[in-house]
Structure 1
Amino acid sequence: MTGAAHRIRLAAAALAACLAAAPPRAVAHPHIFVDGGVDFVIGDGSQLTALEVTWIFDAFETLYMLAAAGHAPTTVGALADAAQRDLIQELGDWPEDFAGSAHLSIDGQPISLDRPTGFAVDLIDGRLRLTFLRRLANPREIKARRVEVGFYEATYFYAFTVTNPPRIRGSSDHCMAEVKRFNPDTGLVVLQSTLFDLDREETPEIANVGALFADRVVLQCG
């Protein structure tokens, strides 16, 4: 047996053990738990031009995706080139109706973003990290305006949490970004419990339900 085949067998065995011991969330709603965050790319004249988005999958989902693709980490805990290519192809193939996780608004008005580009993937402390760029269809002047990004997926299939402090790239003078954590009230706690009872094949009846549980990143430039 080759070293690569041995590692894949070990990954598959570990995955089977994880599945056997998985908590109820594996068959509840949401199904996939992702940390990460959003950075802002600002051009000349306080023009917001793009968002840089980071997803960090939990260790269980990382192991599942690697095993499903027939890959395993190298002996130093990194990803081989072939694994990076395969995962970028898989994770970058978004359905047309998938809006992603970064929902931008300026002064309360939704702003459209181009399809994602510049996908990169690596392995950090046993967790898969995906980064990509979402350009604004039209760059926007943001001086003295409230810029907000909701970090969520509309159907709540994915549960996103902002764990990375937001960074500002480019002309960042007099700009400040901060995270506004989701803080559930009693009604949302009850709704979360109801959603948790949905199985993997069910979709919440509430449109854009993920927005109700979203962490948000707010950017303000003086």
Structure 2
Amino acid sequence: MTGFSSRTDAHPHVFVDVTGSFVMNENGQLEAIRIHWLYDAFTTLMAMQNLGLDADNDGKLDEADLRRFAEAETDWAPEYEGDTYLYIDGEKVKLSAPQEARAEGPGDQIGVGFTLALDEPVEMNSRKATLKLYDPIYFYSYAVTPQSSVEGPIGDCNFEIIPFDPDQELAKLQSQLQALSQEETPEDPNVGAQFAETLELTCP
């Protein structure tokens, strides 16, 4: 991860390594999505300052700091979907507010994990679940980690990580967006969808 000097005038402004998991119950039904965000070092520093973490300035986050960060990161407005969008056979599926939030501060980065539950478990026979991870206005840039996975019995299902791989046209758009200042937003309010990182679970 790069540092502050290369990011102050660039768009996006926050860089996040995201680990996503499909959570299956013992019956092989999809019941939840597990998400973990690990922020870049500069964003971590800003978060610590804004939330008043590490009050003793020893460079370490104690349990109270981590609880406060986890609560702040998962206190979502009702309309916010956490940049996490689940589709089953192309139909969008509603997810719960964050549950089981937990934070940790490894090195100079801070991370938070949480669970988003489906309203009810979904039988995955002959179905495909697609999880798209992106910020609609591309203020945040997400990169899926290789640790993304399926938790629980997968049966004959196939899991795949599909990282964003821009073609020439999208690379040009990405370059244009990088010229935006922090105060500017893209004309397309859902432009980030074009840069989505994707996880797929396909079941026979």
CA contact (8 A) 1:99 1:153 kept: no
Corresponding position: 1:127 with 2:109:
yes
Following TM superposition, the consecutive aligned residue runs of length 4 or more in structure 1 with deviations greater than 4 angstroms are: 73-78
- Within 5 A, what are the aligned runs for 1:128-143? 128-143=110-125
Q: Which amino acid aligns with 1:201?
A: E
Q: 1:68 aligns with which of 39, 46, 50?
A: 50
Q: Would the alpha carbon gap of residues 200 and 174 (structure 1) be closer, same or farther in structure 2, given more than 3 Å must change?
A: same
Partner of 2:176: 194
CA contact (8 A) 1:165 1:179 kept: no
Q: Distance in 1 between matches of 2:38 and 2:186?
A: 24
- Within 5 A, what are the aligned runs for 1:133-212? 133-212=115-194
Partner of 2:96: 114
Matched residue SS, 2:110: strand
Q: Distance in 2 between matches of 1:100 and 1:107?
A: 21
Deviation at 1:27, TM superposition (A): 3.2
Unaligned 5+ runs, structure 2 = none
Partner of 1:3: none
CA contact (8 A) 2:14 2:140 kept: yes
**1:24-67, CA deviations, whole angstroms, 9 ceiling, x for partnerless residues?**
x2233211000022111112433110000010001111122112
Q: 1:30 aligns with which of 12, 19, 27?
A: 12
Q: Would the alpha carbon gap of residues 209 and 79 (structure 1) be closer, same or farther in structure 2, given more than 3 Å must change?
A: same
CA contact (8 A) 1:79 1:123 kept: yes
Partner of 1:95: 77
Q: Which has the larger radius of gyration?
A: 1
Deviation at 1:178, TM superposition (A): 1.6
Q: Would the alpha carbon gap of residues 146 and 28 (structure 1) be closer, same or farther in structure 2, given more than 3 Å must change?
A: same
CA contact (8 A) 2:20 2:148 kept: yes
Partner of 1:49: 31
Q: Distance in 2 between matches of 1:54 and 1:181?
A: 16
Q: Distance in 2 between matches of 1:215 and 1:74?
A: 38
**1:108-162, CA deviations, whole angstroms, 9 ceiling, x for partnerless residues?**
1111111111110001232111100001123211122111111111111110110
